[in-house]
Chain A
């Protein structure tokens, strides 16, 4: 079974600064995706960024980028130029491909607060 670990329960950052959220995972699979989801107080999970395991190049989406270290099974999220609207819970998630259901396995989350 796959597991996802987020070791930082809470983090804070000043507006306009950069913050990095950590995520490690454990799997014996070779074919998978990794995701970062954002969950604001409204409870709606929103996809921030995803990474295919077979791609060596790190994914980027505007101010969001990842550092994917496949051998180390590490998948951190970097948020640049932090904005007040980035305040939310952030979940790292793993998806095994080809298993039939492609369900997401989530970590426990990191609560990020962006301070003005």
Chain B
């Protein structure tokens, strides 16, 4: 079956612009996570969805970051007024209900010029 997919694979934008990053989880997975991986670092948690609701958004760095999952499947991470410090790989992961294994997508590399 298909794994977690993320689009685009790479995104280059200019400082101040708005970007959207998309994640398609494994079919049937109710839990969805976003992580951010800066160069030379491990991934850092951003937000967790169980179904359609954001159950934990404690990792979002500020109010420029927002994520939605309106139908409990695809999720979009939205970043307003991008800054150079937002440059990173954004990883999405999904897991089945009550299963602790998270399956990761290939990530979106965001570069803010």
Instruction: Decide yes or no whether B43 CB sits under 8 A from chain A.
Output: yes
- The A1-50 residues at the B interface (CB cut-off 8 A) are 4, 33, 37, 42-47, 50
Known: A37-B104, A44-B105, A95-B100. 20 other contacts (CB 8 A): A42-B106, A44-B104, A44-B106, A45-B43, A45-B91, A45-B93, A46-B104, A91-B42, A91-B43, A100-B56, A101-B55, A101-B58, A102-B48, A102-B100, A103-B33, A103-B45, A104-B35, A104-B102, A106-B42, A109-B42
List, in ascending order, chain B residues with CB within 8 A of A91's CB.
42-43
A43 B106 Cβ-Cβ under 8 A: yes
Instruction: Decide yes or no whether A108 CB sits under 8 A from chain B.
Output: yes
Interface string of A74-102 (1 = CB under 8 A from B): 00000000000000000101010100111
Query: CB-nearest residue of chain A relative to B105?
Result: A44
| A-binding residues in B (CB < 8 A) | 31, 33, 35, 40-45, 48, 55-56, 58-59, 89, 91, 93, 100-107, 109
B40 A108 Cβ-Cβ under 8 A: yes
B41 A103 Cβ-Cβ under 8 A: no
Tally of A-B Cβ pairs under 8 angstroms: 58
Size category of the A interface is: 20 to 34
A103 B42 Cβ-Cβ under 8 A: no
List, in ascending order, chain B residues with CB within 8 A of A102's CB.
31, 48, 100
A45 B104 Cβ-Cβ under 8 A: yes
